[in-house]
């Protein structure tokens, strides 16, 4: 089981936006006037799109761009860490998230991890702030600090899980629960079932049209979540 974090399990958008602005100013010396669409995007994508939107000259080489991104991720971690005590105060755990994670953890043979565009330290900080970090194996996770498209991260996560747990982690036994159409695209590329929750910017119909296997309004009905997971991963009986 792979979970997206933002707008799937929790909402800490206000804190994240402040951290983005702080880190951007530290690296570029300019204010973050325009923030791009963040749904379904990694922190590195958000940074480079922010450079373009705010008229910051591009790096002169790939090496310079990589160095700039490294500096930005360091500043973003620092800015987010400084605001960690605000997460539970101004953010919120989305309805049913804790119960869904707890119920999924009790399913036989299930391993839970995250697949997120957030850099590793900030992802863990978000989950820890709401007491749900205990449900995840971060060794097999995919983070925004890994410079790969999310579909590739999904494949890497399955490979890490197979190596660690010594069993096949094929597309048919992997479920990604997320809230954006780009996440659905990642499952098509990386190999997994996708349960979409309409708790982000896109409607249930938009998620259905994007190709989600199943669409839920949210995670508030725990039985519905578990039933959806069971339906997608159940091995058909032999005839």
| Reported confidence tier of residue 237, pLDDT bands at 50, 70, 90 | very low
Tell me: pLDDT of 236 over 60. no
β-pair type (92-93, 10-11): antiparallel
- Of the listed ranges 55-64, 95-104, 176-185, 209-218, the one predicted with least confidence: 55-64
- pLDDT for 174 beyond 80: yes
- Identify the pLDDT of residue 238: 34
Instruction: Report, in angstroms and rounded to the nearest whole number, the Rg of the chain calculated over CA atoms.
Output: 18
Sign of the alpha-carbon dihedral angle for 163, 167, 173, 179: negative
Question: Structural domain boundaries of the chain?
Answer: 2-11+92-233, 13-87
Is pLDDT above 70 for 147? Answer: no
Closest CA to 179 of 80, 38, 77: 38
Give me the mean pLDDT over the 174-201 stretch. Answer: 95
Query: Thinking of the domain 2-11+92-233, which architecture would CATH place it in?
Result: 3-Layer(aba) Sandwich (3.40)
User: pTM of the prediction?
Assistant: 0.94
> Would you give the distance in Å from CA 193 to the centre of its chain?
15
Query: What is the reported pLDDT for 210?
Result: 96
User: What distance lies between CA 29 and its chain's CA centroid?
Assistant: 28
Q: Which residue has the tokens 């119920």?
A: 103
Contact 46, 156 (CB under 8 A): no
Specify the pLDDT at position 168: 67
Encode pLDDT of 81-133 as tens digits. 999 999 999 999 999 999 999 999 999 989 999 999 999 999 999 999 999 99
């Amino acid at each position: 089981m792979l979970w997206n974090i933002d707008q799937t399990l929790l909402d800490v958008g206000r804190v994240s936006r402040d951290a983005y602005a702080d880190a951007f100013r530290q690296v570029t010396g300019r204010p973050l006037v325009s923030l791009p669409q963040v749904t379904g995007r990694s922190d590195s994508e958000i940074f480079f799109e922010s450079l373009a939107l705010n008229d910051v000259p591009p790096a002169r080489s790939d090496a310079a761009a990589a160095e700039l991104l490294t500096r930005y991720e360091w500043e973003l971690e620092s800015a987010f860490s400084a605001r960690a005590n605000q997460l539970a105060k101004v953010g919120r755990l989305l309805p049913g998230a804790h119960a869904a994670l707890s119920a999924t953890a009790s399913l036989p043979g299930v391993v839970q991890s995250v697949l997120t565009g957030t850099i590793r330290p900030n992802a863990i900080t978000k989950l820890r702030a709401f007491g749900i970090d205990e449900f995840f194996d971060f060794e097999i996770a995919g983070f925004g600090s890994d410079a790969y498209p999310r579909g590739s991260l999904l494949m890497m996560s399955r490979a890490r899980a197979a190596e660690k747990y010594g069993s096949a982690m094929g597309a048919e036994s992997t479920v990604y629960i997320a809230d954006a159409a780009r996440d659905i695209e990642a499952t098509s590329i990386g190999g997994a079932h996708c349960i979409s929750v309409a708790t982000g910017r896109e409607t249930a119909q938009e998620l259905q049209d994007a190709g989600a296997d199943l669409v839920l309004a949210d995670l508030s009905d725990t039985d519905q979540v578990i039933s959806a997971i069971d339906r997608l991963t159940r091995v058909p009986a032999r005839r």
